Amino acid sequence: AQTVTQSQPEMSVQEAETVTLSCTYDTSENNYYLFWYKQPPSRQMILVIRQEAYKQQNATENRFSVNFQKAAKSFSLKISDSQLGDTAMYFCAPQGAQKLVFGQGTRLTINP
């Protein structure tokens, strides 16, 4: 079974700052994917970024990047030049055997 730990229930930063959200996970699978999802107050779950576990290169998507440490089973999300629209719950979600498992989330607030 997969487990996910997001150790930061809440974070708050000023607009334009850089923020890093942490995530550790446990899985017995060798081939899997890792995702970060964003859920703004509207409650729509939106994919932010995805990483294939077999790839060593960290994924990047505009202002969003990850630091994937496979041996440590760590998958952190860095948001650069944060914007007010980044305010949301962020969920780390590893996926193996076609099943997506979510962490408890980090509530991120971007302050003007």
Partner 1 sequence: EAEVAQSPRYKITEKSQAVAFWCDPISGHATLYWYRQILGQGPELLVQFQDESVVDDSQLPKDRFSAERLKGVDSTLKIQPAELGDSAMYLCASSLDGYGYTFGSGTRLTVV
Footprint of partner 1 (CB under 8 A):
4, 33, 35, 42-47, 50, 91, 93, 95, 98-105
- Tell me the C-alpha distance between 71 and 60, whole Å: 20
Closest to partner 1 by CB, 97 or 112 = 97
25 and 33 in contact (C-beta within 8 Å)?
no
CA neighbor of 85 nearest in space, from 20, 34, 16, 35: 16
Closest to partner 1 by CB, 16 or 45 = 45
Q: How far is the CB of 72 from partner 1 (least distance, A)?
A: 21
Q: How far is the CB of 94 from partner 1 (least distance, A)?
A: 11
Burial category of 28 from C-beta neighbours within 10 Å (exposed 0-12, middle 13-18, buried 19 and up): exposed
Which residues have a Cβ under 8 Å from the Cβ of 12 and sit 6 or more positions away?
Answer: 108, 109, 110, 111
Q: How far is the CB of 41 from partner 1 (least distance, A)?
A: 12
Closest to partner 1 by CB, 70 or 80 = 70
Q: How far is the CB of 103 from partner 1 (least distance, A)?
A: 5
